[in-house]
């Protein structure tokens, strides 16, 4: 039996649900039929994809390999089907597919791209920059907006061309009634509990090193989504490390760290074969979005970073690996 796309979808569904029974219901087939299909997949691959015990099913090392490749292949196949159907229907205006990984600029970026009418871009979020880059190279997206720590470089994925949008000082978000001023030394917050956005960047390690240089050792920061983090800050339970982008709710204010001990860079990734006109349009929109957000009166934050020129900031695959 040859492995087919539907088999990859089956494996991904079983892995996500952790149960043959639940996966069979989700796929709309009988449990014995799903078990038989998994056995055929095992034979095609030369070994078992899952192990089963009283807790359900878990992927084997072979299964983890299949799932890793499926995460790239399945979005690419879906994108192919979408574009093929669009072309077959005679639609000449493809929807620009934007993916964000670790960047709070995504909403402003999409808003910039939507100006002037036409079809608005679609936006999705990837859990890790390497995953977004792999999917971009496979054709699942048209552009990736990725954020990463300070001087770190984006993934060296073959077929992906990167440009630096800008580098900015990381701020701390505190409840409005917090006794600290609008600009403080990092050491002034030594007694706080910290929270940050989840992601694959080296930011936690960079934060702990900055604290060590400031003379204290904080608890390892908690990780959560933005909405949960803002609620923790507003309740006074924690202070948050944040990019200097995005509107803040009532009860939360930004605090600048004196000397900018932590930096965050935003990168734009496009396929190597993207037309130069599209590359220029996307980079301009990303840099304009950053400028708009930094200068927004409601943000309470001014520009505190750098925007590169169009020369040395470009990076294609084959460059150095991500650096810390």
Share of the chain above pLDDT 90, in %: 57
Query: How much is the mean pLDDT over the chain?
Result: 86
> Can you give the pLDDT at residue 91?
63
Angle at 179 between CA 173 and CA 184, to 5 degrees: 60
- Give 302's pLDDT tier (boundaries 50, 70, 90): very low
Using the predicted structure, report yes or no on whether residue 303 has a pLDDT greater than 50.
no
Q: Please name the residues in contact with 177: beta carbons below 8 A apart, sequence gap of 6 or more.
A: 236
- Give 197's pLDDT tier (boundaries 50, 70, 90): confident
DSSP code string of 86-116 = HHHTT---PPPEEEEES-TTHHHHHHHHTTT
What is the per-residue pLDDT across 222-261, written as a single tens digit (0 to 9) for each?
988 888 999 999 999 999 999 888 888 999 999 999 999 9
**According to the per-residue pLDDT averaged within each range, which of 75-89, 98-112, 189-203 is highest?**
98-112
Using the predicted structure, report yes or no on whether residue 174 has a pLDDT greater than 80.
yes
CATH numbers and ranges of domains, the chain: 5-75 (1.10.10.10), 95-324 (3.40.190.290)
What is the per-residue pLDDT across 46-74, written as a single tens digit (0 to 9) for each?
999 999 888 889 999 999 999 988 887 88
Share of the chain above pLDDT 70, in %: 88
The CB density around residue 245, as the number of other CB atoms within 10 Å, is 24
> Can you give the pLDDT at residue 247?
84
Element (H, E) at 127: none
Higher pLDDT, 94 or 289: 289
> Can you give the pLDDT at residue 166?
95
What is the per-residue pLDDT across 120-170, written as a single tens digit (0 to 9) for each?
898 988 888 988 999 899 888 899 999 988 878 999 999 999 999 999 999
Q: If you average pLDDT over residues 191-207, what whole number do you get?
A: 84
> Can you give the pLDDT at residue 241?
93
Strands 222-224 and 305-306 come out as unpaired
Higher pLDDT, 127 or 100: 100
C-alpha closest to that of 238 among 321, 307, 174, 309: 174
Using the predicted structure, report yes or no on whether residue 92 has a pLDDT greater than 50.
yes
> Can you give the pLDDT at residue 237?
94
As a residue count, the chain comes to: 324
């Amino acid at each position: 039996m040859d492995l087919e796309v539907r088999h990859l979808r089956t494996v991904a569904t079983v892995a996500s649900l952790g149960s043959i029974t639940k996966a069979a219901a989700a796929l709309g087939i009988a449990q014995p039929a799903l078990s038989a299909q998994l056995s055929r997949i095992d034979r095609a691959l030369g070994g078992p994809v899952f192990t089963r015990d009283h807790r359900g099913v878990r992927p084997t090392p072979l299964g983890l390999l299949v799932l890793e490749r499926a995460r790239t292949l399945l979005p690419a196949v879906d994108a192919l089907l979408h574009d093929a159907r669009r072309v077959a229907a005679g639609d000449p205006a493809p929807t620009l597919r934007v993916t964000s990984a670790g960047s709070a600029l995504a909403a402003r970026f999409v808003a910039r791209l939507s100006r002037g009418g036409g079809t608005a871009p679609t936006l999705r979020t990837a859990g890790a920059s390497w995953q977004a880059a792999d999917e971009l190279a496979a054709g699942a997206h048209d552009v990736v907006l990725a954020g990463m720590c300070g001087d770190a470089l984006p993934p060296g994925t073959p077929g992906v061309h990167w440009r630096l949008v800008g580098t900015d000082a990381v701020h701390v978000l505190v409840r409005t009634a917090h006794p600290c001023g609008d600009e403080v030394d990092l050491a002034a917050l030594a007694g706080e509990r910290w929270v940050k956005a989840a992601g694959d960047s080296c930011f936690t390690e960079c934060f702990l090193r900055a604290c060590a240089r400031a003379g204290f050792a904080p608890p390892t920061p908690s990780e959560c989504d933005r909405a949960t983090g803002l609620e923790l800050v507003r309740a006074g339970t924690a202070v948050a490390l944040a990019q200097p982008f995005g509107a803040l709710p009532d009860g939360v204010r930004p605090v600048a760290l004196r000397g900018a001990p932590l930096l965050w860079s935003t990168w734009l990734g496009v396929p190597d074969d993207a037309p130069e006109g599209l590359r220029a349009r996307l980079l301009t929109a990303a840099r304009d979005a950053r400028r708009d957000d930094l200068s927004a009166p409601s943000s309470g934050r001014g520009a505190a970073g750098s925007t590169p020129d169009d020369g040395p900031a470009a990076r294609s695959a084959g460059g150095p690996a991500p650096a810390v």
